């Protein structure tokens, strides 16, 4: 005979399904009776506290020892990957302390980087700009130039131009951009006239930065193109970024002295907006990705982007949208933005 649900089972009592409230009470009673839930996982909880402190006071981590502070700041958003790892370990340890402690880094990370997750791009804008480190060893410079130009940008900045391939880039972009200038290993192509074009000294001994005035229909814009020195992570020397830091200071001084009120910086800065060593530049300019982008906009390396080191920054203009372009044969992704003048 099939017994009806909830009927007497023969021992004088009836089985009834547990409600959400009864399950919660059962869990709470177990937590109160088994003090191990709170005593276990102290080390895991301390790891959560350390993660939280790194995000809150990362600017206080000294750069004296291998530029450790800058290295942490370069990859700071990726610290979120440790949160699910610690959560799994906390559950395996059956530790209430470790689980609750994870709220600290989760809340701080969302407060610090949560705004970059959402799509902040909008409509409108007067000028579309694009920037790309084309890679000196690019096997298809003509195709790369065509691909970046296909974005519809009004102004294109290219970095790491090898001397032997400049003519290839010039031929590939000539039809779309009647005005251009190449200074050292950086170049600027524009649909609108250029004037007052000159190299910018960023203390490297050769030209890797330039400045020009773009005469757009809505008015003049000072456009800087820069390729700051590369950085490396070495076991014996740490984060070798001193030359880059000195160049960033020089670039920041040039932008601070700029007489034109509207400024756009395009280039490979070999650093992120979080890196305090780029403060001479980032303190006076806005990142288009942070203001009007969709996501983090990581640009390097192209095969698995981990950091936004290719920047479009503005001063005196309003970014309306910012995005990364499809991969070319370079090890960087091109980046683009639209700004309102």
C-alpha to C-alpha distance for 194 and 173, rounded to whole angstroms:
16
Tokens of 262: 């509207």
Residue 321: the pLDDT is: 97
pLDDT recorded at residue 127: 97
Q: Residue 64: count other Cβ atoms within 10 Å of its Cβ.
A: 8
Q: Is the Cβ–Cβ distance between 80 and 113 less than 8 Å?
A: yes
Mean pLDDT over each residue of the chain, to the nearest integer: 90
List of domains in the chain: 20-113 (no CATH), 127-340 (3.60.10.10)
What are φ and ψ of residue 114, in 5° steps? -60, -35
pLDDT score, position 6: 46
Question: Which is nearest to 332 in space by CA: 230, 184, 202?
Answer: 230
Q: What is the pLDDT of residues 300-327, one digit of tens each?
A: 999 999 999 999 999 999 999 999 999 9
Q: What is the 8-class DSSP label of residue 175?
A: T
Instruction: State which residues of the chain have pLDDT below 70.
Output: 1-21, 24, 26-36, 233-240
Convert the pLDDT of each residue in 164-179 to its tens digit: 999 999 999 999 999 9
Give the pLDDT of residue 239.
66
């Amino acid at each position: 005979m099939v017994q009806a649900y909830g009927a007497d089972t023969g021992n004088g009592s009836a089985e009834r399904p547990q409600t959400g409230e009864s399950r919660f009470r059962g869990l709470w009673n177990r937590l109160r009776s088994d003090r191990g839930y709170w005593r276990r996982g102290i080390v895991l909880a301390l790891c959560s506290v350390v993660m939280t402190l790194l995000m809150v006071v990362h600017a206080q981590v000294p750069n004296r020892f291998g530029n450790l502070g800058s290295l942490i700041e370069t990859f700071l958003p990726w610290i979120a990957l440790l949160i699910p790892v610690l959560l799994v370990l906390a559950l395996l340890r059956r530790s209430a302390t470790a689980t609750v402690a994870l709220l600290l880094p989760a809340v701080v990370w969302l407060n610090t980087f949560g705004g970059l997750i959402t799509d902040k791009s909008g409509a409108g804008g007067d000028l579309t700009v694009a920037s790309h480190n084309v890679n000196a060893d690019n096997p298809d410079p003509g195709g790369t130039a065509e691909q970046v130009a296909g974005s519809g940008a009004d102004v294109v900045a290219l970095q790491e131009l090898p001397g032997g391939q400049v003519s290839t880039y010039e031929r590939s972009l000539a039809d779309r951009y009647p005005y251009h200038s190449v200074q050292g290993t950086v170049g600027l192509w524009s649909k609108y006239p250029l004037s007052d074009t000159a190299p910018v000294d960023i203390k490297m001994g050769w030209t890797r930065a330039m400045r020009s005035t773009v005469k757009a229909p809505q008015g003049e814009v000072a456009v800087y193109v820069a390729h700051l020195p590369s950085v490396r992570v070495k076991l014996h020397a740490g984060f070798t970024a001193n030359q880059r830091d000195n160049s960033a200071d020089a670039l920041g001084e040039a932008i601070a002295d700029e007489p034109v009120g509207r400024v756009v910086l395009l280039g490979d800065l070999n650093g992120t907006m979080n890196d305090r060593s780029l403060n001479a530049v980032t303190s006076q300019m806005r990142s288009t990705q942070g203001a009007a982008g969709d996501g983090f906009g990581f640009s390097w390396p192209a095969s698995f982007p981990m950091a936004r080191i290719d920047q479009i920054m503005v001063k005196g203009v309003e970014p309306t949208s910012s995005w990364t372009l499809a991969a070319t044969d370079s090890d960087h992704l091109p980046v683009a933005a639209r700004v309102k003048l």
